[in-house]
Structure 1
Amino acid sequence: MPAKKDKSYCDWMSQLPPELHDIPFFKLAIPGSHDSMSYDLDINSSIIEPDRLKRLSRIYCARKIVRKWAVTQDETITKQLDAGVRYFDLRIARKAHDPDPTRLYFHHGLYTRTDVETVLKDVNDWAGGHPKEILVLALSHFHGFDKNVAEQLHRHLTSFIVTLFGAKLIHKRDIPTLKSCWDKGRNVIVSYDSRQHFNELWSKIPYYYGNSMNTRDVESKLCQFLEKPSPAQSFFVCGLNLTLPENARILLYILRPCDNLVKVIRRSLPRLLRWVEQQAAKTPVNIVASDLVTRDGFVPTIIKLNTSKRVKP
């Protein structure tokens, strides 16, 4: 007997039951990716964070340690899309002394190898091949956008985004549903965490997270956020991700010789997924973001929330 194939979530939105097609997108449960480009971190780049290790950028061992504790995803953005992820946390950076004045990268501890425009073109191609899948791209942080170049860089990047995605962009004045997006042929939402003047771009989407490496603390803090009243017609992110401390306690983690962030995440994610299933029965969730989104049943767990009793018109 042939082995049973895993269910594909490449086009899961188009396969949702008809009664969910007119639900505001803010009320759907959407799998999201935290630090989406961290799989691409460049071991040869300078260290951006943590501050305590910046001065050690020239030392390969220091960069290796940073990368070991900064990688939160292990699949490309296209494979994350194929796996069913629909929200992407994209942290933008400009390299100092780059000869190209408008070339940008992503970052998390280190810079990525691949530039922003190349990745966004890949996302645009994927969106074109899956017109019924709605994507949310959240651009933030903008490291290295110094005052003398910030306006030029923001203008270049936002113009590139609007030109690239064009008619696919869902405007911020809309209250999107699956059906309304399908009818208009639009399937990309871009959230831009900085001042901009394009009607096609959305403002910052709140991202709630536990700011801890302890799963119980993460659960407790997320409960506090989720149980507060929130605007009825807006996106929000519930981040299941673990966060390294910013003080000297970070050394307790990054100096472990036989451990890394991926291993810690794999130990904690099953518990966090059980928690989000229980929590979603009590309070609404919208975008749920995580590390290692292609592993341990993360995507199917979040998608399944859409067919539970919590989703109401």
Structure 2
Amino acid sequence: MSAEDDTGRGQAPSYCDWMSQLPDDLHNIPLCNLAIPGSHDSMTYDLDVSSSIIEPDNLKGLSKICCARRIVRKWAVTQEESITKQLDAGVRYFDLRIARKPDDTEPTRLYFYHGLCTRTDVETVLRMIHDWAEKHPKEILILALSHFKFPKENEEQLHIHLIGFIKTLFGSKLLHRAWNIPSLKNCWDQGRNIIVSYDYSANQHPEMWGRIPYCYGNSMDPAEVESKLRQALEKTRSSQGFHVCGLNLTLPEDAKVLKYIFRPNDNFTKVLQRSQPTLLQWVKQQAGQRPNIIASDVVTRHNFVSTVVQLNISELVKT
């Protein structure tokens, strides 16, 4: 695994197969005891400025105003690189939020969203993930589908369609829900490398895992984010399931947001780049603390992936 710096966009070292390259002693421990890099709002690099505003609710009425959509996009983009490049960089957990685009002529077509909808539809992106997973059978991918925004009148039908598509597409690659979290070796022995966390009442489908708890700081202050994550880790340390520590910053939902969005030469990505080195210093201190999935914005910057992966080696050295 390369240790070169990845601070520049598009310069991330390849961690395509980091799971298969872990020491043998880590092959038999539960995946919830591995440190796994993840991306927060994974599809935001693809947000469509021509989309209606999906959130926040108080801005939906401004959807017809191009300037309003551009401002929303400017402060909703949290990732710079495509899903394939994130996979190549070593990201193994993906935060995928799904909506039905208003007035779409195709009745079952769905998109990802964060403020606005993406240009690329859900089925196209899932096929891309499937193709990558086929080429890297020993890399275990966790797809967290959540925050569904579907019309009430056909909500259930859209879930049935999406779950059916996932089951058909990934087929024997899907790791079925189990009482115990599998290890890398368990997954390899079964020839399965896709875990789908589906945050909806889909428990009747053994291929769908339930919601994975996601802890985050709900603040723009990195120190406050660190404090809340530290408290969350104290509660989850004895957990036998997956859990996520989100390094992501969160814009205020009240008038304080104006402090950020009217900065003429700034955007959310720049803010995140400035805060990430501080948050990664906290990550480096978590060796032996079993943080499990660590999700971040701008995942291909500042050695985020290598910092998280190294926690596994550091813990092995301690033991």
TM interval, short-chain normalised: over 0.9
Q: Is the 8 A contact 1:27 1:311 kept in 2?
A: no
Alignment deviations for residues 31-75 of structure 1 (CA, whole Å, 9 cap, x no partner): 000000000000001111223322111111111111110000010
2:156 aligns with: 151
Query: Aligned with 2:192: secondary structure?
Result: coil
Cα offset for 1:282? 5.8
**Contact map agreement 2:237 2:290 (CA 8 A) in 1:** no
Comparing 93-102 with 70-79, which one deviates more in the overlay?
93-102
Partner amino acid for 1:170?
Answer: L
In structure 1, list runs of 5 or more residues that go unmatched: none
Aligned 1:197-212 pairs, distance under 5 A: 197-212=204-219
| Structure 1 pair 9–163 and aligned structure 2 pair: CA distance change class (3 A) | same
- Are residues 142 and 231 of structure 1, via their aligned partners in 2, closer, same or farther at CA, if it must alter by over 3 Å? farther
For residues 159-211 of structure 1, give each alpha carbon's deviation from its aligned partner in whole angstroms, at most 9, with x where no partner exists.
11011100001111153111111111000000000011210110000000000
Report the 3-state secondary structure (helix = DSSP H, G, I; strand = E; otherwise coil) of the residue aligned with 1:308.
helix
**Separation (CA, whole Å) in 2 of partners of 1:270 and 1:312:** 24
Distance 1:81 1:213 in 2: 27
Does residue 97 of structure 1 match 2:124? no
Give aligned pairs, total: 308
2:133 maps to 127
Whole-angstrom distance in 2 between the partners of 1:70 and 1:253: 12
Q: Are 1:169 and 2:201 an aligned pair?
A: no
RMSD of equivalent CA atoms: 1.7
Contact residue 284 and residue 310 of structure 1 kept, 8 A:
no
Q: In 1, Cα distance between the equivalents of 2:282 and 2:83?
A: 26
How far the C-alpha of 1:6 sits from its partner, in A, is 7.3
Structure 2 vs 1, CA of residues 135 and 229 (structure 1 numbering), >3 Å: closer, same or farther? Answer: closer
Q: Superposition pairs for residues 212-231 of structure 1, below 5 Å?
A: 212-229=219-236
Give per-residue Cα distances to partners, 1:201-254, cap 9 Å, x unaligned.
Answer: 100000000000110110111111111145532100000000001111111111
Q: TM-score, normalised by structure 2?
A: 0.93
- The answer to whether structure 1 residue 241 and structure 2 residue 251 are counterparts is no
Asked if 2 retains the 8 angstrom alpha-carbon contact of 1:281 and 1:310, the reply is no
Counterpart pick for 2:272 among 258, 261, 265: 265
Letter in 1 for 2:19: M
- Is the alpha carbon distance of 1:194 and 1:254 closer, same or farther for their aligned partners in structure 2, counting shifts above 3 Å? same
Task: Quote the residue 1:187 is aligned against.
Answer: 193
Give the stretch that moved more between structures: 185-194 or 7-16: 7-16
SS in 1 for 2:235: coil
TM-score (structure 1 length as normaliser): 0.95
CA drift at 1:147: 2.3
Distance in 1 (alpha carbons) for counterparts of 2:317 and 2:137: 24
Paired letter, 1:104: L
For residue 50 of structure 2, what is the aligned residue in structure 1? 44
1:20 aligns with 2:26: yes
**Percent sequence identity over matched residues?**
66
- Contact 2:12–2:301 (CA<8 Å) still a contact in 1? no
Structure 2 unaligned runs (5+)?
Answer: 5-10
CA distance in 2, matches of 1:116, 1:123: 11
The one-letter code matched in structure 2 to 1:226 is L
